[in-house]
Structure 1
Amino acid sequence: MLLENLSLLFFKNYEEASLSFSEHINCFIGDNGSGKTNLLDAIYYLSMTRSAFPGTEAQSVKQGEDFFMVKGRFEVEGSKHTVQVSLKQGQKKTVMHNKVLYEKMSEHIGRFPVVLISPYDTDLIREGSEERRRYFDSLISQLNHAYLEQLIQYNHILKQRNSLLKQFAERHYYDQEYLQVLNEQLVPLGEQLAQERQNFLQEFIPIFQKHYHHISGSSEEVSLTYKSQLEEDGFAQKLRQAERKDLALQRTTVGPHKDDFVFLMDGNPVKSFGSQGQQKSYVIALKLAHFEVVDQRQHHKPLLLLDDIFDRLDEKRITQLMQMVAAHTFGQIFLTDTHLERTDKILEGLSESIRRFEVKEGTVKVIRD
């Protein structure tokens, strides 16, 4: 799979931009704050219909404008696909595939997969369970459309249930029958999500462990587990047991939306016992396993986005990654860096197809092929 070109209009700090890409390695070179990462985010939008980074959709619109547009053309096994993502302030975001508007944006997820490795990846370790759930839900959704639909339905019913719990408190009444109806809709979806997450890890963990040992060269044993509230009792029983607490707190306190993925090293939490280097190796291995699983399932390599890794990773980890690039483990790669000379040195001899772009304050141009 290749992304042949990219067009931007009023996206973040870009008024307008149009780029054509190399089929292997594409480098965005510029100072911090120039807009390099925004180009990676635009590519992420084409694949996932949303930003890779926290914030509101409106923040993707260039200051002073009222809409943005991101457009790109993919080539997949000889077939051309044009994708366009647009947002106008105050209106619903739209996604088009070959000029046809999706009725549901979820239909697009997984068609053009992408993997991003960024300096913020260690947030998966340092932050709370929500960050890890979001990551694995996004990964599984790229591979399993049924899971994505179940997740959307679950979150919709969960929102209804939480709204009802707030109404009970505000209006001083209690409708047990209506609450039970929502419970009965929520339970099968929640149990299916929890089971699919558990099933996915059985496939994912051995691949992750392989990549960790390759990247780190270390002997420590790493793993991850899915910590679900539904392991001991069924979801329906959990909801009944938590009903008084839910009514008091006005929100649903049990379910897969509260579960966690626990990252382990030699049986201990990586967050507490892993060094900074070990934590970096851990999250890179997660992303490389992410890449491999998608490649195996989809039978084409995802786009690989590398954001400022030369600034944030030590020489050993960069060398291991570049060895994989040289072995053509990856397909098309997009990376950002602040120093052209460093980029050229690291990539020397790795590929005959490298395109370098200079990024300056919201403008971008080819400087060398």
Structure 2
Amino acid sequence: MLLENLSLLFFKNYEEATLSFSEHINCFIGDNGSGKTNLLDAIHYLSMTKSAFPGTDAQSIKQDEDFFMVKGRFDISDDKHTVQVSLKQGQKKTVTHNKAVYEKISDHIGRFPVVLISPYDTDLIREGSEERRKYFDSLMSQYDHVYLEQLIQYNYILKQRNSLLKQFAERNYYDRDYLQILNEQLIPLGEELAQTRQRFLVDFVPIFQKHYHHISDSHEEVTLTYKSQLAGDDFAYKLQQAERKDLALQRTTVGPHKDDFVFLMDGNPVKNFGSQGQQKSYVIALKLSHFEVMDQRQHHKPLLLLDDIFDRLDEKRITKLMQMVAAHTFGQIFLTDTHLERTDKILEGLSESIRRFDVKEGQVKVIQ
């Protein structure tokens, strides 16, 4: 799969930009704050219909403008696909594929897979369970549309249940029958989500362990486990037991929306016992495993986005990644860096198809 070109209009710090890409390596070179990462984020929008970073879609509209548009053309086995994502202030986001508007934006997820490796990846280790759930939910949603639809439906019913619990408190009444109806809708979805996550790890963990040992050249044992509230008990029983607590707190306190993926090294939490280098190796191995799983399931390589890794990774880990680039493990790559000379030195001899772009304050031009 290739992204042939990209067009932006009023996206973040770009008024307008049009770029055509190399089929292998594309480098965005510029100072910090110039807009390099915004170009990667635009590519992420074309794949996932949303930003890779926290914030609302409206925050992607350029200051003093009232809409943005991101457009790109993909090539999959000589089959062309034009994708456009646009948003006008106060309106719903629109996503089109070959000019046809999706009735459900979720139908787009997984068609054009992408994997991003960024300096913020260690947040998966440092932050709370929500960050890890979001990451793995996004990963699984890209290749398992049934899982995505179940997740959307679960979150919709969960929102209704939480709203009802809040109404009980605000209006001082209790409708057990209505609560039970929502429980009966939530239970099968929640149990299936938990089971799918558990099955996913059976295949994912060996791939992850392989990549960790390759990246780190170390012998510590790493793994990840799924910590589910539903383990050993059915969801209906858990909801019944938690009902008084839910009523008091005005929210649903049990279910897969509260579960966690636990990152372990030699049996201990990576967050507490892993060095900075080990944590970096851990999250890179996660992303490389993400790439391999998507490649296996989708039968075409995802786009790989590398954001400022030359600034944040040590020489050993960069060397390992570049060995994989040289071996054509990846397909099309987009990377950012602040120094052209460093980028050229690292990429020297790795590919005959490299395109470099000079990025300055929302302006982009090809470096000849």
Amino acid at match of 1:242: A
CA distance in 2 between counterparts of 1:238 and 1:49 reads 35
**1:75-121, Cα deviation, whole Å (9 max, x unpaired):** 00110000000000000001000000000000000000000000000
Provide the aligned length of Structure 1 versus Structure 2.
Answer: 368
- Residue 232 of structure 1: how far off its partner (Å): 1.8
1:121 and 2:106 aligned: no
Amino acid at match of 1:240: Q
- Residue 320 of structure 1: how far off its partner (Å): 0.1
User: Which residue of structure 2 aligns with residue 44 of structure 1?
Assistant: 44
User: Which residue of structure 2 aligns with residue 54 of structure 1?
Assistant: 54
- Residue 348 of structure 1: how far off its partner (Å): 0.1
CA distance in 2 between counterparts of 1:27 and 1:334 reads 6
User: Which residue of structure 2 aligns with residue 63 of structure 1?
Assistant: 63
CA distance in 2 between counterparts of 1:109 and 1:9 reads 23
Scaled by the length of structure 1, the TM-score of the pair is 1.00
**1:155-188, Cα deviation, whole Å (9 max, x unpaired):** 0000000000000000000000000000000000
User: Which residue of structure 2 aligns with residue 349 of structure 1?
Assistant: 349
CA distance in 2 between counterparts of 1:66 and 1:44 reads 21
CA distance in 1 between counterparts of 2:57 and 2:127 reads 22
User: Which residue of structure 1 aligns with residue 318 of structure 2?
Assistant: 318
User: Which residue of structure 2 aligns with residue 167 of structure 1?
Assistant: 167
SS at match of 2:319: helix
SS at match of 1:141: helix
- Residue 6 of structure 1: how far off its partner (Å): 0.1
SS at match of 2:367: strand
Amino acid at match of 1:175: D
1:265 and 2:265 aligned: yes
Amino acid at match of 1:236: A
User: Which residue of structure 2 aligns with residue 12 of structure 1?
Assistant: 12
Percent of aligned positions that are identical: 87
CA distance in 2 between counterparts of 1:54 and 1:87 reads 17
SS at match of 1:22: coil
1:236 and 2:262 aligned: no
Amino acid at match of 2:241: Q
SS at match of 2:239: helix
CA distance in 2 between counterparts of 1:114 and 1:97 reads 17
User: Which residue of structure 2 aligns with residue 143 of structure 1?
Assistant: 143
- Residue 256 of structure 1: how far off its partner (Å): 0.2
- Residue 343 of structure 1: how far off its partner (Å): 0.1
Q: What aligned pairs does 1:1-369 form with structure 2 within 5 A after superposition?
A: 1-368=1-368
**1:39-98, Cα deviation, whole Å (9 max, x unpaired):** 000000000000000011111000000000000000001100000000000000010000
**1:218-262, Cα deviation, whole Å (9 max, x unpaired):** 000000000000002100100000000000000000000000000
Amino acid at match of 2:236: A
CA distance in 2 between counterparts of 1:77 and 1:294 reads 17
CA distance in 1 between counterparts of 2:282 and 2:143 reads 22
SS at match of 2:116: strand
Superposed CA RMSD in Å reads 0.3
CA distance in 2 between counterparts of 1:236 and 1:218 reads 44
SS at match of 1:63: coil
